[in-house]
Amino acid sequence: MPSPNNPRVARVAMLFQRDTRTFVNTFHVVKPTAMTSADLINIAGIFSSWWNASYRGYSSNLVALKQIQVRKYDPSDPLAYDLDVSPPSAGSQVANPDTGATTQTASWRTGLAGRKYRGRFYAVGLPEVATNNDDSVISTETAQLSNAALSLIASVIAASFQLAVFHKSDNTFTQIATVIVENLIDSQRRRLANRGA
């Protein structure tokens, strides 16, 4: 498969450490014109501020943000920027995280129907104390993730960018309008031991 190719799109990878493992959240940001080096630096700052102001309040203190990688999707101008977080910035809930594959999912909505027009991210550091015996997540934790996701949408828009669902098949994107967070535990198998990051 050829490399993604749309100079208006940047991929953002937030890298988190948990013991010896690395977990990754991936997002796509777009703008009306081609991304520049300054844009990548700005985008990394937006996501760093978002973690510190909103997302880290959801996560266990045993999970920490260590790096933000931003990549322009343009093989002819493959700009990249890495923001190292040193020391790593830990989640603010003093609690053990649930098992590695246990997560809660924020599902992006674009206003269009069909799986192609939805995205999601698997939240990191869901605390054990935030889950119930019926595999649901307590309402305050669900509200916190929802508010954090909405805050990201607003922060990106305020900086003249837009969150988007990127379509690898044809290098197009659909802008994200809102988010849905269900109160159910989800699973990301790649986060199981020996399955990858």
pLDDT for res 186: 84
Q: What number is the average pLDDT over the span 47-57?
A: 97
Domain-located, residue 155: yes
Predicted TM-score of the model (pTM) = 0.93
Work out how many domains the chain is built from and give that number: 1
In whole angstroms, give the CA distance from residue 151 to residue 96: 25
Work out the end-to-end distance of the chain between its first and last CA atoms, rounded to an integer number of angstroms.
21
In whole angstroms, give the CA distance from residue 142 to residue 161: 26
Domain-located, residue 160: yes
pLDDT for res 190: 59
pLDDT for res 197: 45
More confident residue, 196 or 50: 50
pLDDT at residue 194 above 80? no
pLDDT for res 115: 87
CB 127 within 8 A of CB 93: yes
Domain extent, residue 108, equals 6-191
Domain-located, residue 197: no
Domain-located, residue 41: yes
pLDDT in tens, 141-171: 999 999 999 999 999 999 999 999 999 999 9
pLDDT for res 192: 55
Residues 6+ apart with CB under 8 A from 170: none
